[in-house]
Structure 1
Amino acid sequence: MSQPHTLRHPYEYNPSYKKRVAYFSMEFAIHPALKIYSGGLGFLAGSHMRSAYDTKQNLFGIGILWKYGYYDQTRNSDNTMNVLFAEKFYNFLEDPGIIVPVYVNKHQIYVKAYYLRPEVFGTVPMYLLTTDIAENDHLAQTITHKLYDNNTYTRIAQSIVLGIGGAKVVDALGGADIYHMNEGHALPLAFHLYTQFNRDVEEVKNRVRFTTHTPEKAGNEEHPIQMLDNMGFFSSIPLEEVRKITMVEEEMFSHTLVGLRLSRRANGVSQLHGEVSRDMWADQQGVCPIIAITNAQNKKYWADGILDKSLAEGDDARLFDRKMHLKKRLLNYVGDQTGKIFDPEVLTIVWARRFAEYKRPDLIKRDIMRFNRLISNKDRPVQIIWAGKPYPLDANAVSVFNHLVTSNRKVKNCAVLVGYELALSALLKKGADIWLNTPRRPREASGTSGMTAAMNGAINFSISDGWVIEFARHGENAFVIPTTDPTQPIDQQDNEDFYSMMYILENEILPTYYNKPDRWKQLVKNSMLDVYPMFDSDRMVDEYYSKLYI
């Protein structure tokens, strides 16, 4: 099957973390050079790999080496968004000689693993899978070309490669005590383990843990069970046996629900999301306990070192000089990409994350007359920057992005950036004054971008959802938009949230920034102090061992 390869960590394990864990994720945001991620799920997984390394855990990552990544976000000639799929090459990955067979749609294909050494980016050992090798025909090679391919059959094949192919790579590495699925993409691994452990479903549950990120049933992946069976999703298990162990009687097969049934324990990614998830699946039989482990991000990677040191030493002058330097760096980039010259003395608001309808990137423009008054105010001016990558075939999200581009084309103090990946994300967080977050509650499971913004002196201005509930103290370390009734019609929710947001912006944020600079500086310092250590991923990965892997 494969040549022997020794899995090695460059350290002795911390005694608290000796249990061997294989962490499966469809995407990892590790470093700008490794473009195998799309958004928040990958950012979270990347911080997990870094903090597991920093805290000396016996954990390793299993992911996919996407030949064309997610996509490169570029511009058309009119500055609207364009989608580019460019082949990626990585000379820092090594070939450990691991190739495993997997059946997809009744055809045997081969999955090859490439090895990312811990010292390259400061992560635990990682194995990235590809089918783009000479041993496969062209169709099989394309399975690992595009992250979240829009073809349903390809998406299922990707899950089989990650779950079954990844599990076989783990077998080649000597196995694991725990198999942790970051979302339901790797679910086929549970069926591989079922065959491996003599069809003992309790032993499968003993080995599997599951993290769910989606706070509503409609957002959880489902496919016809017959289609999955034909594709080989269930390994070699007869369909009637699959129905028995998964308790699925209907024709649509919910990946999340079955993940919850075949795990010993699962977790939501904020305290609120844990509650929402328990309520969401409360009427389903066989669901494992769902706890809450709030997401976090790796401060060592994300926080600007000079900002952090200045805060620790109480050197306010250096702290705010550095913040201004970082802000100017961001504004120079805005000028480079858009031709717009922003003023570093002006309050700069950033909305940057994955473009999706429920995240409401254009909420601030809901009342265009009021928005125009805001951006044309000379006494208390503002600058607004948007950035984010819609799913390339989400016509609505792409349309919103392009409308922001075209409607702000001649507006001097509003800019829309392309290329929202790790590097631009860091630049925006370090340069922003206000980090704006406007999802419809309770649809934001966690929303970790605000954590790294706070680490870099940006003030969170957010709907009370996800992690923000656990962090924010309105007017002291953040500004919180009051909760609306989520059972109201969407238009009414959006109206209420817009007017609450604008009231706070006009009557609290702008007067503080321009008229009370000492109070503003204290807000910045409070935010930076309060985000650590609770929202540093060192805390999070410790909780995964103590609360989930037990």
Structure 2
Amino acid sequence: MPFEVAEPYTRSVAYFSMEFAIDQSLKIYSGGLGFLAGSHMRSAYSLGQNLLGVGMLWKYGYYDQGRKRDNSMTPEYHEKMYHFLVDSQIRFEIPIGGRSVQVAAYYLPPHVFHTAPLFLLTTDTDGNSEADRAISYNLYDNTPETRVAQCMILGIGGVKLLKALGHQPDIYHFNEAHALSAAFYLYEDGRNLDKLKSQVVFTTHTPEEAGNEKHDMAYLKSLGFFGDLTLEEVREISGHRGDVFNHTLAALSMSKKANAVSQLHGEVARKMWEGHGQICPIIHITNAQKKSYWVDEPLEVARISRNTSALRARKLELKKRLLEVVADQTGKLFDPHVATMVWARRFATYKRPDMLIWDLERFKKLMNDSPYPIQVIWAGKPYPKDEGAIKTFNELFYLSHYFPNMAVLTGYELALSKLLKQGADVWLNTPVVTREASGTSGMTAAMNASLNLSTFDGWICEFAVHQQNAFLLPTIQEGDINGIDANNLFHCLNAEVLPTYYDRPDIWTKMVFRSMDDVSTAFDSDRMAQEYYTKLYN
């Protein structure tokens, strides 16, 4: 370990993740999973934990969010160069589909971005065909064979990397099931399931069906995903009976313990998998973000000193910085004295990014005729092959032509994310309840003096108190959930959020201070990283 390990954290951990949001300059992430992994690595470093990260070096990243000639969104792919990465000189091969794929390992030293040490694997190296080089071109490639091969490079390749380093970790932590092939590779050595389980822990991040990857078992076998194991052996140790292989079920069956990523998600996950008797216990460790990375220091000083004028002055300055980006991208000059609401995160249907425009007449009235002026900004990346999500993004953009106080921004990565959170007055969060496992964007918004306006889901359930540190929409259990949620959103904006902002600024600031206080420690990833050692690794 290239830095001194603190006494409570001597147990060695290898942390496997398909994406890490470490720095704006290192574009190997797509969204929340990467943001979470990046904060985990920062906290592991600052706490002195004996943790080493294993990830992938994506040649083209996720994608660059560009615009066509009419300014609608289009995915763009540009080669990324990282001169701060160190070539470890480690090379090895992995059999995939009957051919040997060469893998190279690069290293991100801890001092570069103040993270735990991180190794990144790539197939874009000498000795590979163009098809095999392409395995590590795009994060979450939509071609089935390439997608499986990516998981094999991360999982099997990660274990081979550790062996080449002469490093035998006490714990293999799979952040999502992408690295699951590592478990089968480890099991081949001795074929002892109890021994394997003693070494493996697993974090499940989503109750979404699409997020729990499945493949035909024989197809995975043909690619070498299970090594030399027979399908009968695979079924026996992974909790499967049929021919469809569920990666999440296998990870739950081959780990000693798993964690969901919020208290509510823990309840949902246990119910979701309760019919599978072989799975390990599922606890919850609520996601968090590294406060020292995300928070604006003058805002934090104002919070600690309870300096209202300093807080308001700094927030105004940060809003001006955000609005410069709005002007640059859209040609619109927003007013920093106007209440500014932001919806920004990964574009996905269940997150309902377009809820505000479902009732266009009410939206027009809010934007044009409200006694309380408002500005609304959207940002976020859809999956590049999700035509429906891209269509929603573009519909919002086209609609923004009709409103001088509406903006849709591209380039939602770490840097823009930070600007949006520091500049927003209101952070809007609209997922269907129970479908957002945790969500973390609202945490870092709250750290930066933004108030959450949210459905009661994910981490919000452990944080928000209506009209005290946030604004909450009532939870709807049945009926037209979308319609009722949208109606409640407009009611809350018109009757509570905007009147408080304009008519009761002292109450608003009191809520902001409490929000900042309540998020400060409980949702700092130092707490999360400590809990991983006490609740999962030990």
> TM-score normalised by the shorter chain: which range applies?
over 0.9
User: Which of 441, 461, 464 is matched with 2:456 structurally?
Assistant: 464
| Equivalent residue number for residue 340 of structure 1 | 332
Q: Is residue 216–residue 280 contact of structure 1 (8 Å, CA) maintained in 2?
A: no
| Equivalent residue number for residue 381 of structure 1 | 373
Q: C-alpha separation between the residues in 2 aligned to 1:218 and 1:407?
A: 29
User: Which of 521, 527, 530 is matched with 1:539 structurally?
Assistant: 527
Q: C-alpha separation between the residues in 1 aligned to 2:9 and 2:171?
A: 12
Q: Is residue 295–residue 448 contact of structure 2 (8 Å, CA) maintained in 1?
A: yes
User: Which of 492, 496, 504 is matched with 2:492 structurally?
Assistant: 504
Q: Where do residues 449-460 of structure 1 align in structure 2 (5 Å cutoff)?
A: 449-460=441-452
| Equivalent residue number for residue 4 of structure 1 | none
Shift of residue 314, structure 1, vs aligned partner: 2.3
Q: C-alpha separation between the residues in 2 aligned to 1:378 and 1:396?
A: 31
| Equivalent residue number for residue 412 of structure 1 | 404
Q: C-alpha separation between the residues in 1 aligned to 2:217 and 2:386?
A: 25
Deviations 1:57-103 (A, max 9, x none): 00010000000000000111111001100000000000112112211
Q: Where do residues 130-209 of structure 1 align in structure 2 (5 Å cutoff)?
A: 130-173=122-165, 174-196=167-189, 198-209=190-201
Q: C-alpha separation between the residues in 2 aligned to 1:108 and 1:324?
A: 57
| Equivalent residue number for residue 282 of structure 1 | 274
1:320 aligns with 2:312: yes
| Equivalent residue number for residue 109 of structure 2 | 117
| Equivalent residue number for residue 512 of structure 2 | 524
Q: C-alpha separation between the residues in 2 aligned to 1:525 and 1:169?
A: 46
Q: C-alpha separation between the residues in 1 aligned to 2:463 and 2:35?
A: 19
Deviations 1:194-243 (A, max 9, x none): 012x0101111100000001114453100000110001111222222212
Aligned length: 537
1:29 aligns with 2:21: yes
4+ aligned runs moved over 3 Å, structure 1: 216-219
Shift of residue 410, structure 1, vs aligned partner: 2.7
Q: Is residue 181–residue 226 contact of structure 2 (8 Å, CA) maintained in 1?
A: yes
| TM-score when normalising by structure 1 | 0.97
Q: Is residue 225–residue 252 contact of structure 1 (8 Å, CA) maintained in 2?
A: yes
Shift of residue 111, structure 1, vs aligned partner: 1.1
Q: Is residue 354–residue 388 contact of structure 1 (8 Å, CA) maintained in 2?
A: yes
Q: C-alpha separation between the residues in 2 aligned to 1:249 and 1:18?
A: 39
Runs of at least 5 residues in structure 1 that lack an aligned partner in the other structure: 1-7
| Percentage identity across paired residues of the two chains | 54
Task: Read off the aligned partner of 1:177 and give its amino acid letter.
Answer: D
1:9 aligns with 2:8: no
Deviations 1:2-51 (A, max 9, x none): xxxxxx3222x111110000000000000000000000000000000000
Name the SS of the counterpart of 1:354 in structure 2.
Answer: coil
User: Which of 216, 219, 229 is matched with 2:211 structurally?
Assistant: 219
User: Which of 419, 431, 437 is matched with 1:427 structurally?
Assistant: 419
Shift of residue 322, structure 1, vs aligned partner: 0.6
Q: C-alpha separation between the residues in 2 aligned to 1:189 and 1:90?
A: 27
Q: Where do residues 232-271 of structure 1 align in structure 2 (5 Å cutoff)?
A: 232-271=224-263
Shift of residue 378, structure 1, vs aligned partner: 5.3
Question: How much is the aligned-residue C-alpha RMSD, in angstroms?
Answer: 0.9
User: Which of 53, 63, 67 is matched with 1:61 structurally?
Assistant: 53
Q: C-alpha separation between the residues in 2 aligned to 1:326 and 1:142?
A: 41
Name the SS of the counterpart of 2:250 in structure 1.
Answer: helix
Q: Is residue 160–residue 233 contact of structure 1 (8 Å, CA) maintained in 2?
A: yes
| TM-score when normalising by structure 2 | 0.99
Q: Is residue 191–residue 234 contact of structure 1 (8 Å, CA) maintained in 2?
A: yes
Q: C-alpha separation between the residues in 2 aligned to 1:378 and 1:274?
A: 41
Q: Is residue 176–residue 204 contact of structure 2 (8 Å, CA) maintained in 1?
A: yes
User: Which of 352, 365, 368 is matched with 2:360 structurally?
Assistant: 368
